[in-house]
Amino acid sequence: MNEPTSVTSKAGSFWAWVPALLLGSMFIGLGTLAYVAIDDPNFALEPNYYDKAIHWDQSQADARASRAMGLQLTLAPLVVASNGQVSLTLTIADRANLPLLGAAVQVEAFPNAFASRIETLTLRETAPGVYTGQLAHGLSGLWELRVALQHGATTYHEVLRRDVAKGAKA
């Protein structure tokens, strides 16, 4: 009797693994890109961005009301000290250029280059109309400072952008 003889070839076994290798490399690439996206310190989302977009008209009305109050905010030059901190000194005067006494001042500060590193601090009044605080992690470059001020029943908001210089204060 004639029996067919089977010929085994190893060439087909290589091609059987190609789809698995392609899928594996795709998952490794996807995982690497996800890690880079999550761990990027330069990437940030605006907190409550959807809520802010929904209430855009109200925020614009609040900004007009803040400008109508006529407060003058003067920020002393920002310099990174040798210990890495930045001293924040904010002078606040009213429309008549008199110091604003007894206000509760909150500041959200972050460097534009690393917008996810938001520092929130409460400034304390050290002299009439002069409010001070310390930013713990000072980086040189452009910073955004979002000032929220509560004085009696009135609320005032202003966004300041300032450069932070390198070097200790003289």
pLDDT digits (tens, 9 = 90+) for 55-108: 999 989 988 988 888 899 999 999 998 888 999 999 999 999 999 999 999 999
Provide the 3-class DSSP secondary structure of residue 83.
coil
Q: Are residues 76 and 29 in the same domain?
A: no
Q: Which two tokens stand for residue 136?
A: 């713990």
Q: Is residue 93 part of a domain?
A: yes
Tokens coding 170: 């003289």
CA-CA-CA-CA dihedral for 61, 120, 109, 46, to nearest 10 = -60
124 CB-near residues (< 8 Å, 6+ apart): 131, 132, 133
Indicate the average pLDDT of the chain: 88
Q: What confidence score (pLDDT) does residue 114 get?
A: 87
Least confident of 26-30, 37-41, 88-92, 130-134: 37-41
Does residue 29 belong to any structural domain of this protein?
Answer: yes
Say how many domains are in the chain. 2
In a domain, 170, yes or no: no
CA separation for the pair 46, 51 (Å, rounded): 10
pLDDT given for residue 4 in this prediction: 73
pLDDT value at residue 1? 59
The three-state (H, E, C) secondary structure of 40-82, written as one string:
CCCCCCCCCHHHHHHCHHHHHHHHHHHHHHCCEEEECCEEECC
CA distance 122 to 111: 18
Please indicate, yes or no, whether residues 96 and 64 belong to a single structural domain of this protein: yes
Domain of 129?
49-165
Of all residues in the chain, what percent are helix, strand and coil, respectively (each to 5)?
30, 35, 35
Is 35 in the same domain as 59?
Answer: no
In a domain, 5, yes or no: no
* DSSP-derived 3-state class of residue 17: helix
| Cβ atoms within 10 Å of 28's Cβ, excluding its own | 10
